[in-house]
Amino acid sequence: MGVVEVRWHGRGGQGTVLASRILAKAAFYEGKWPQAFPFFGAERRGAPVMAFTRIGSYEIKLRSQVYEPDVLVIVDPLLVRLPDVYRGLKRGGTIVANTRAGPESLPGEAETRGTVDATGIALELGLRVAGLPVPNTAMVGAVARVTGLAGLDSVRRAIGEMLGSRAEENVRAAELGYERVRVI
């Protein structure tokens, strides 16, 4: 397996950083060596956010941002149209995006493309903060299915441990993201 690098793009308040950490913890439960960390400017709701997850079959000592991801995750559907988001995606890479559009609509030369209406799932389950939908756990479920970096049981366990009393509806969001993602 080596090391798989994931770059997440979202906005403050969507749970992008937490999603990167949930995927890392789920991979850890499967005996892999993960790391997850954020990068953001102004710490406020709506500001652009990037987060990174590395998952390896051995200890990862690299601590830089992910400039050439194997997997690109777009949590905010408005970012799907921005060319800079796709910058650096490795040839043969994977894109998983939060959009109602089908995977064929995603630009670039990704080998694997997945789309899921994670915002719709969040609204369906009432996952909101300050009235805005939080699509992060639905995206983790979709990423787990498309990439195989962690199994759904490990994702459930990570959400349960990290979200405590808010886990039940977030586990359901991850399950729906896993079930509903469309892949080509």
From first to last of its 184 residues, the chain has per-residue pLDDT tens of 799 999 999 999 999 999 999 999 999 999 999 999 998 666 667 788 999 999 999 999 998 999 999 999 999 999 999 999 999 999 999 999 999 999 999 988 899 999 999 999 999 999 999 899 999 999 999 999 999 999 999 999 999 999 999 999 999 999 999 999 999 9
CA nearest to 15, candidates 43, 49, 39: 49
- Work out the angle at residue 16's Cα, subtended by the Cα atoms of residues 147 and 22, and round it to the nearest 5 degrees: 55
For residues 11 and 48, the answer to whether their CB atoms sit within 8 Å is yes
Distance CA 43, CA 49 (A): 9
**Domains of the chain, with CATH numbers?**
3-183 (3.40.920.10)
Assigned token pair, 112: 């694997």
Residue 144 in tokens:
């787990």
Helix (H, G, I), strand (E, B) or coil at 105: helix
- DSSP structural state of residue 92: T
d(CA 160, CA 22): 10
| 70 within 8 A of 91, measured Cβ to Cβ | no
Residues 47-69: b if buried by 16+ CB within 10 A, e if exposed: ebbbbbbbbbeeeeeeeeebeeb
CB within 8 A of 159, min separation 6: which ones?
22, 137, 140, 167, 170, 171, 174
